Amino acid sequence: MKSLIIMILILLGCLNAALAYEEISGKVTSVVDGNTLEVVSKDKQLYKLRLAGIDSPELTQEYGGEAKELLEKLVLEKEVSVKIMGKDRWGRYLAEILIDGKTDPRVELLKRGLAWTAEKSPLPVLEGYRVKAQQKGKGLWKQSEPTPPWIYRRQQTMLQPKSI
Q: What is the pLDDT of residue 37?
A: 97
Q: Specify if 160 maps to a domain.
A: no
Which position among 22, 23, 38, 58 bears the catalytic label? 58
Give pLDDT, residue 15: 44
Count CA within 13 A, CB hemisphere, residue 116: 18
Q: Is the pLDDT of residue 148 over 70?
A: yes
Give the chain's domain count. Answer: 1
Tens digits of per-residue pLDDT, 28-81?
999 999 999 999 999 999 999 999 999 999 999 999 999 999 999 999 999 999
Domain of 136 in residue numbering reads as 20-153
Q: Rounded to 5 degrees, what angle do the CA atoms 35, 37, 41 make?
A: 140
**Which value, in Å, is the radius of gyration of the alpha carbons in the chain?**
19
* Residue 7: inside a domain: no
Residue 106 falls in the annotated catalytic set: no
Is the residue at 8 inside a domain? no
Residue 159 lies in a domain: no
Q: What percent of the chain has pLDDT over 70?
A: 85
Minimum mean pLDDT range among 23-27, 41-45, 149-153, 158-162: 158-162
The answer to whether 54 and 106 are in contact (CB under 8 A) is yes
Measured distance CA(79)–CA(12) in Å, rounded: 34
pLDDT given for residue 2 in this prediction: 58
Band the pLDDT of 157: cuts 50, 70, 90.
Answer: confident
Q: Answer yes or no: 112 catalytic.
A: no
Strand blocks (E) in the chain: 22-33, 36-41, 46-51, 54-55, 79-87, 93-99, 116-117
The catalytically annotated residue of 23, 62, 66, 92 is 92
70: domain CATH number is 2.40.50.90
Residue 149 covered by a domain: yes
At residue 20, does pLDDT exceed 70?
no
Active-site annotation holder among 22, 23, 38, 50: 50
pLDDT tens for each residue of 112-138: 999 999 988 888 999 999 999 999 999
Dihedral sign (CA 17, 48, 133, 156):
negative
89 catalytically annotated: no
State residue 14's pLDDT score.
Answer: 45
Q: Which of 153, 143, 141, 105 is nearest to 126 (CA)?
A: 105
Residue 6: pLDDT over 60: no
